[in-house]
Amino acid sequence: MYSAITTSLENGILLITINRPDKMNALNKTVFEELNAAIDEVYNNREIKSAIITGAGAKAFVAGADISEFLGLKHSEGMDLAHKGQYIFKKIEDAPKPVIAAVNGFALGGGCELAMACHFRIASDNARFGQPEVNLGLIPGYGGTQRLTQLIGKGRAIELLITGNMLDAATALQYGLVNYVVPQEELLTKARSILELVNTKAPLAVGRCIQAANAVFDHTKDGFTEEVKLFGECFATHDMKEGTNAFLEKRKPNFTGK
């Protein structure tokens, strides 16, 4: 049903693969539309507990927005493009279920921004990260200036933004941009093993952890107040009763997401 991405669901994990390997998986209009639909699936399909985003082939995660679609755009059309990209990436960031990036090669421009919108990142040892927009007379428009600064700090972010340089996987790990670096053939296994563990936890609590952590960067919210609210809400869930009872009865909890 999709043409520029593929999806497959296994053990509650939706694997979303950006599938334009001959164009380094660049984000064109179709990829954006289909990615948006796949993220809606993550929100709405109860069988999906978490998701992985990766790129097809061995070279690229996503080498950016499709540059061929930029030519001839006017000021207002540039803004529309940024609004659209930011909307979809914020939807990923706000997802009530974990969405992680398995970065299998170049994550440049919009690709780096996509990886940064995910809840965390795992990289293969050939991964490269960068925001090379200055080479095109552009700046990142899908949240990159903000999330890069949040993730690696202002000095390192500005250096990367204004030089357009790429980070190798080892440096990305050192900067805290990725949580793990693994050989490429182990990338999806590593991502799946983490999510299989997460999928055994109480789903509503998992979602609220993400929501509370996101509140740190939301200027309309006080994160501590948000935490109080979300903590309180957990007491109204069946899974909180199940989890605490299971602990006291020395048995494994059976979470239902209610």
Active site residues: 113, 133
What's the min distance (Å) between Cβ of 24 and ligand COA? Answer: 4
Cα Rg of the chain, angstroms: 19
CB of 97 within 8 A of CB of 51? Answer: yes
> At 182, is the secondary structure helix, strand, or coil?
strand
Binding of residue 99 to ligand COA (CB under 6 A): no
Residue 67 vs 246, nearer CB to ligand COA:
67
For residues 164 and 149, give the distance between their C-alpha atoms in angstroms, rounded to a whole number: 15
Backbone dihedral angles phi then psi of residue 255, each to the nearest 5 degrees:
-80, 140
| 132 counts as binding ligand COA under rule CB under 6 A | yes
With binding defined as CB under 6 A, does residue 67 bind ligand COA?
Answer: yes
CB atoms closer than 10 angstroms to residue 58? 12
Pick the binder of ligand COA from 13, 52, 63, 205 (CB under 6 A): 63
> What DSSP state is assigned to residue 4?
S
Binding mask 139-168 for ligand COA (x = CB under 6 A): ------------------------------
| Cβ(74)–Cβ(26) below 8 Å | no
- Round to the nearest angstrom and report the end-to-end CA distance of the chain: 31
Residue list 14-53, contact with ligand COA (CB under 6 A): 23-24, 26
Q: 8, 68, 220, 254: which one contacts ligand COA (CB under 6 A)?
A: 68
Q: Could you say whether residue 109 binds ligand COA (CB under 6 A)?
A: yes
Is 84 a binding residue for ligand COA by CB under 6 A? The answer is no
What is the rounded CA–CA span in Å between residue 204 and residue 209? 9
How many residues make contact with ligand COA (CB under 6 A)? 16
The pair of structure tokens assigned to 248 is 């006291």
Residue 165 carries which DSSP code?
Answer: P
As measured in angstroms, the least distance from the Cβ of 56 to ligand COA is 12
106 binds ligand COA (CB under 6 A): yes
Q: Which spans of this chain sit near ligand COA (rule: CB under 6 A)?
A: 23-24, 26, 63-68, 106, 108-110, 132-133, 136
